[in-house]
Amino acid sequence: MDGIRAFASFPSKVPETISDCSSEYLLYIQSVKGYSENTVTGYREDLRHLSDILGFEKNIALVTLEDLRECIGIFSKKKYSVTSINRFIASVRGLFSYCKKFNYIEKNPALELKTLKAPKQLPKFMTPQEVDELCAAPEKKELLWESRDKAIFELLYSSGCRVSEVANLRLQDFSNGYESAIVTGKGKKDRRIYLEKDAQDALRAYLMERDAIFLKSSKKGASPVDNVFINQKGGPLTSKGIWYIVNRYSGVEGTQTQVSPHTFRHTFATSMLTNGADIRMVQEMLGHSSISTTQRYTHVTTERLKEVYRQAFPHSGKDD
């Protein structure tokens, strides 16, 4: 189906404006290409910026390379990060490539857009002590829902899941008790994740409370949801909700070492490689389509080894 403009929800009239083309393209990458919800949201935001600057009703066939460069210049003046600008460029390239593919435009002005060179940044990760402190925070701080939040933290660390994968996890996805589960990652690709004992125990404790909530709500006629993690009203917990939970516990009210859900993923990968796991196996566990993405974490372990060497070796430049 890839490349076929066959959606009942697409208008029969060929789109001409930036706004209409963007709407159709976003539907395409979500329905046909299988891009994740977070990716589609990011593209939608970037293309909204494009429409804001050039005009929603501007004919996309009239957009020039200079127009696109003007957008990038505006972002630079507003001090957008290199990462944000490069994502905008990727979104615009995708839109115009799509429009050229279906002959909405004769020339693709985005072909000559060059991405900015980004400074190399190693993924941020937590030490084992920081992980233990954060996983213990729900019981100590009593900020939100103790058993649920601990289960989320333990699962994120144990599995290396993306936040969207945790939010979309269903009860029926588990097997062998709670030793493993099937998650759907980017590109709608399924993979198996594994949970160690701490994560299994935390999950069981939370699910007992979760069942009690739905037992009460069922008496009032409410239907339970399949999502493993729910909010305090009994609805599915979203990715934004998990971000909020992690921010609360790692912020000033909690450990005061601010991290994101993705930091757990970085920590999982770094820990696996540091302890001798094969990089191909780690790639599979993380659901990376390219080995080069996983190789970022080998740089982290290399830097850690260098630091250990500098601290431990007597002629490493330390003061006597």
* Cα distance between residue 161 and residue 140, in whole Å: 25
Q: For this structure, is 297 an active site residue?
A: yes
Residue tagged active-site, from 48, 93, 262, 304: 262
Residue tagged active-site, from 162, 178, 210, 266: 162
Residue tagged active-site, from 48, 288, 296, 304: 288
Element (H, E) at 47: helix 37-54
Q: For this structure, is 49 an active site residue?
A: no
Q: For this structure, is 262 an active site residue?
A: yes
316 and 310 Cβ atoms separated by less than 8 Å: yes
* Cα distance between residue 117 and residue 75, in whole Å: 15
Three-class SS of residue 121? coil
Strand order across the beta sheet in which 180-184 lies: 174-175, 180-184, 190-194
End-to-end CA separation in angstroms for the chain: 68
Count of residues making up the chain: 320
As beta bridge partners, residue 302 has none
Residue tagged active-site, from 25, 35, 249, 297: 297
Residue with tokens 């609360």: 248
User: What are φ and ψ of residue 228, in 5° steps?
Assistant: -65, -50
Residue with tokens 């305090």: 232
Q: For this structure, is 248 an active site residue?
A: no
Residue tagged active-site, from 148, 150, 265, 266: 265
Q: How far is CA 137 from CA 22, 126, 196, 202, in A?
A: 43, 15, 19, 13
119 and 82 Cβ atoms separated by less than 8 Å: yes
Residue tagged active-site, from 33, 141, 186, 304: 186
DSSP letter (8 states) at residue 256: S
* Cα distance between residue 25 and residue 28, in whole Å: 5
Q: For this structure, is 288 an active site residue?
A: yes
Instruction: Extract the tokens encoding 285.
Output: 């566990």
Q: For this structure, is 150 an active site residue?
A: no
Q: How far is CA 218 from the centre of its chain?
A: 33
Contacts of 163 (CB under 8 A, 6+ apart): 156, 239, 242, 243, 261, 262
Residues with a known catalytic role: 162, 186, 262, 265, 288, 297
